[in-house]
Amino acid sequence: MRAIAITRPGGPDVLELAERPDPVAGPGECLIRVSASGINRPDVLQRKGAYPPPPGASDLPGLEVAGEIVSGDVQALAAHGFAVGDKVCALANGGGYAELCVVPVGQCLPVPAGWTMAQAASLPETCFTVWANVFDRVGLQPGETLLVHGGSSGIGVTAIQMAKALGARVFVTVGGADKAKACLALGAELAINYREQDFVAEAKAATGGRGVDVILDMVGGDYIGRGVQALAEDGRLALIAVQGGVKSDIDAGLVLRRRLTITGSTLRPRSTAFKAALARSLRERVWPLIEAGRIKPVIYRELPAVQAAEAHALMESNQHIGKIVLTW
């Protein structure tokens, strides 16, 4: 099969088209003929040598795919409502930048009706991450307010739509007017330009001084301490990345007095059982919203897989709104 390999740690140019042996599905797994592969920040980190794949996973990058099941554990497929020939999107443990990818059956979801393969490939990593953190881990409830840092990112556009569809108010931080406009169109109530505005002051003003209930933070650094200041009583901050650094000054007194929760998680190292449970929740709670058109695809650009280096350079430029997808 053709695949995109990381030839050495470095910039986008280290991604090269390669030939690899076809993978074989084992017990509890299926083999997907990939039509499209989503691109995510962890792929960039892996390319740089900063996020190695977990033990047993492919060394090829790529954590989400969409395509057709061509073989696999028949009993496992049947137990999850799938069969050979079905069109699925899936959360992979690695190896998604390839024409064939092995994934645990429990991490597959059906391609939503009317969605292209490229659009479907934009779903798994962001949907699993948002559900695991915003809804499962910190329990965002209808009527509560969610502040999403990086609202125009792949994670951000998913969080906006998912939270809005499930009854929450959504605020976002963005880096420009075009990104603010896009987020508002997706359902955000407030878009805060972090280059010009203080998100703590803006979030408090928009909530009558109360603060927000939940923050989804993929920035880290001093955003954590500032996020503590922006939270309402019993507020929760879910940290999923540290693009802005790993250290922050936090007012521990506010944490005590307001009964705040600060938590964090990474998805890739979690168990197959954990990811399968997320998939079941998504299929029950989120897929009906997608089928009803309340959550829509947001694709910034589709690129042929051979242009993976260009796709990574585009992601690192931070120009994009929504997802970047490779097609095979």
Tell me which DSSP letter residue 294 carries.
S
CA 119/CA 304 separation, integer angstroms: 14
Query: Model confidence over 155-187: pLDDT tens digits?
Result: 999 999 999 999 999 999 999 999 999 999 999
- The helix (H) or strand (E) run that includes residue 307 is none
The structure's pTM equals 0.96
Phi and psi at residue 286, to the nearest 5°: -105, -40
pLDDT tens digits, 20-76: 999 999 999 999 999 999 999 999 999 999 999 988 899 999 999 999 999 999 999
Query: What is the C-alpha to C-alpha distance for residues 38 and 63, in angstroms, rounded to an integer?
Result: 7
Helix (H) or strand (E) run with residue 228 in it: helix 222-230
Beta bridge partners of 130: none
In this prediction, what percent of the chain has a pLDDT beyond 90?
A: 99
Element (H, E) at 129: helix 124-130
pLDDT tens profile 258-291 = 999 999 999 999 999 999 999 999 999 999 999 9
DSSP letters spanning 153-208: SHHHHHHHHHHHHTT-EEEEEESSHHHHHHHHHHT-SEEEETTTS-HHHHHHHHTT
Q: Tell me the pLDDT band of 5, cut-offs 50, 70 and 90.
A: very high
Sign of CA dihedral 277, 274, 291, 64: negative
3-state secondary structure of 299: strand
**DSSP per residue over 57-116, as a string?**
S-SS--SEEEEEEEEE-HHHHHHTT--TT-EEEEE-SS--SBSEEEEEGGGEEEPPTT--
CA–CA gap between residue 133 and residue 317 (Å, rounded): 26
Query: Cβ-count burial of 156 within 10 angstroms (0-12 exposed, 13-18 middle, 19+ buried)?
Result: buried
Phi then psi for 59, rounded to 5 degrees? -80, -10
